[in-house]
Every structure is written in structure tokens, then in C-alpha cells.
Amino acid sequence: MTKQHIETLAVSHGFEIDKTGASNPPLYLSNAYKFQDAKHAEELFALKAEGYIYTRLNNPTNTVLEERINALEGGAGTLATASGHAAEFMTICALAEAGDEIVSSNALYGGTHNMFAHTLRRLGIKVKFANVADPLDFENLITDKTKAIFAESISNPGCEIPDFEAISAVAKKHKVPFIVDNTCMTPYLFRPKDFGADIVINSTTKFLSGQAAAMGGTATDCGTFDWNSGRFESFCQPDPSYHGIIWAKDFPQNAFILKLRAQVLRDVGACQSPFNAYLTLQGLQTLHVRMDRHLENTAKLVEYLKNNPKISWIKYPSIEGNPFRKTAEKYFKKGFGSVFSFGLKGGFEAGKKLIENAKLCLHATNLGDVRTIITHPASTTHSQLSAEEKIKTGVTDDLIRISVGIENIDDIIADLEQAAL
């Protein structure tokens, strides 16, 4: 069979129809799996045989989702987790410990920023934030304690885009893995591995499932990083919590993803519910069709907003003068995603009016849904922040974030118009 295209992989990869003839991957709601005999059980626990042990570690429905997303991202192995945040947190846990450092882009989803700036710091892992637009800034923050570089492929909601090849060159020079959170692009629009990422994170809660019915996340090991590079003792020494396994020596092709599953997921426990994996697989089958419509609607909405006298600014890479336009055009050949922000000339009151009067556009905090979602952070999620803090986080009083859905674009525009525009 020739190498399949991404649309075909999204529909069917990772599942072979069994003797029942059922065309959909079955939902296995079973926590336990009968071992064939004592030797089989021993081999499973020693990672010498493939099979199922206990659903916190693996599950046949989750396996289909893992293999499908792994194929979409071009990885060497993928792990499904309870949420996107769980994938990020466990990935860091697999790489770093107290005393270590991470260099992260400063253009991040607020929840990730919070985890990095506060929770990781409480655990003794220091995250240093670099200017997303300046690869040299990333390099300058690297020390001998650095264990990874982290960036979003396109940031939520600022649409800032790192120069992947330049940052990957920095990561390679200093022998640290480059982690890319691909949530807002999805592998249909952009494959981070092709531009130097070593580990790819997705929140499947968003576009990959598309229907806002199931939380989930994935971490994909691209199989590109050499864990023997000198910085990763925990990959090169016998692991006392796992029969003395040496992850980098015993599993050179996919050391990271095996360590993530067998050690970190085992201990942290943030596994994905097989029911959520089942639902996510249903959504994933239509990823490419939905993404094309998300992009088509976004292009029309941006054009409408550009010509609207009530709008003062739009942060989207296609806009003339946007500082990330060139980078976007270099890396994102199909389009720039469908999550962006814009400002209303009427400021705080106009923003509040828009979200209160919208009927079709959903006033909620999610993105990547088939429904159009709008938020006004200044009167909701960020209302407790001081004026100074709002400026620092980029949340101005006039900012509206929109995740453009797949409804008819005329209805989306009509709703925004009747609400305030």
C-alpha cells in the first residue's frame, strides 16, 4: 500500500476490522485484562511483551486513538492522557526534576503559563520565559540545568508563531529536546516534527475531537532526540522504580514515550478515559473537513472585521503589518488556524455588550469546537487582574477572543452584527 494521506489516516488508521465486522473501533470499558499465564504477566510488566496490564497504563480503545494521532504527527509513539494539561505536566515530569530548568516561549495559553510560572516552580522546576519572536533569547536562557525548550505552534490567543527551524537549531546545539504544543494548529495544518520538534503535545479536547464532549490530551515522541546526549541521567541510569530499566539503552527508538507511560503515567495516574478516547476517535474522523471549514469561515470573518468601523485592531497573521505574517507564510501552508483576537473601539463596555447580546456565538471558555465561541476576558476570566496585570498579560479591556466555528459564516456575522458591531 502506498503511503496514505493525512485525511485517510484520520478516518481509519490504527483500527483493523475484526471478525465481528464492526466498522467502528469498539469501546473497551475494562480496567483489567486476563493474563495468559504467569510468564506472560511477568513479560508484560518487564515491557518484554506487548499487551494490556491495567487501564491506568493502557487500554485497547486508547491504543487506536494513540496510533491514529501518532500517524498524523509522524511520531515514534504517542500516549493519550486525561487532558492537554496532563500531557504537558507529565511530559515535564518525565524530563525534569527539582533544580532543573525549562526555557519556554512567553506566548502561551494562560493555563499553561500558570502551570509553568507557579506549579512547576513550587516543585522546584524553574521555567524561564523567552520572547517568542527571538530565537537568540531562547538560547541566552539555556544553562546546564535546562531540560527542554517549549513553545506553542501558534499561540492562544495572540497568534504569535515561533521560528521553528531556528529554535530547533538552538535546541540541537545545546542538546535539549524541543517540545511543541500543536493544539491550535492540529497535525492537519502543521506537523511540528517536520520542522525540528522532538515532542508534540495536543489538547484533543479542542479541534481533534471537535465536539466539546470529551476532555483529552496526547504527547507524541517524534523519536528524534538522542537521550544519551549528556543532559538526561534519568534516561541513562538504571531506573530503581522499574526493575533497573535503562530507558535510553533498552528502548533507543522510543525511550521517552515508554518512560512517560510506564513510569510517569503509572505514578501520576492522569490516564485518558477509554470513553473519551472513543468519542475523540469519532470526531477525529472529520478533522480535515472541519479544519477546512474553520479556515474558510475565519478568512471571511477577518475580511468582514477588517472593514468594520467599530473594530480598532485584529491580531491574525494574514493582516497587513502583523509581525508574524512572514513566519506564518513560511510554516503554515494551508492556513493560520481559527482562533484569534480583535479589539473594539468602544472598549470594556462594548466588549461586555457583544458577549451578552450574542445569541448564536457561544459565550464560553473553550476553543476548537464546531460552534463559534467568543470570550471577553476583561469582564470574565481576567476581571480580578489589576490594570497593570491586564497590560502585562496582553488582556486589554477591548479584547475579544473568538474561536470561529463551522456554522454558515453569514449567520456568524449576522449574530455579531446584531450583538454590537
Applying CB under 6 A, which residues contact ligand PLP?
83-85, 109, 111-112, 152, 156, 181, 183-184, 203, 205, 215, 217
Instruction: Enter the C-alpha cell of residue 359.
Output: 445569541
What is the smallest separation between the CB atom of 405 and ligand PLP, expressed in angstroms? 16
Distance CA 299, CA 18 (A): 43
Q: Which residue is nearest to ligand PLP (CB)?
A: 84
- Rounded to the nearest 5°, which phi and psi values hold at 287? -50, -50
Strand partners, 217: 81, 203
Distance CA 17, CA 34 (A): 22
What is the smallest separation between the CB atom of 181 and ligand PLP, expressed in angstroms? 5
If the CB atoms of residues 207 and 251 are measured against ligand PLP, the closer one turns out to be: 207
If the CB atoms of residues 83 and 322 are measured against ligand PLP, the closer one turns out to be: 83
Instruction: Enter the C-alpha cell of residue 237.
Output: 541510569
If the CB atoms of residues 209 and 327 are measured against ligand PLP, the closer one turns out to be: 209
If the CB atoms of residues 52 and 283 are measured against ligand PLP, the closer one turns out to be: 283
What is the smallest separation between the CB atom of 35 and ligand PLP, expressed in angstroms? 33
What is the smallest separation between the CB atom of 184 and ligand PLP, expressed in angstroms? 5
If the CB atoms of residues 84 and 335 are measured against ligand PLP, the closer one turns out to be: 84
What is the smallest separation between the CB atom of 244 and ligand PLP, expressed in angstroms? 34
What is the smallest separation between the CB atom of 88 and ligand PLP, expressed in angstroms? 6
If the CB atoms of residues 107 and 142 are measured against ligand PLP, the closer one turns out to be: 107
Distance CA 41, CA 35 (A): 6
Burial of 182 (0-12, 13-18, 19+ CB in 10 A): buried
What is the smallest separation between the CB atom of 98 and ligand PLP, expressed in angstroms? 24
If the CB atoms of residues 105 and 203 are measured against ligand PLP, the closer one turns out to be: 203
What is the smallest separation between the CB atom of 364 and ligand PLP, expressed in angstroms? 12
Cβ atoms < 10 Å from Cβ of 382: 19
If the CB atoms of residues 52 and 316 are measured against ligand PLP, the closer one turns out to be: 316
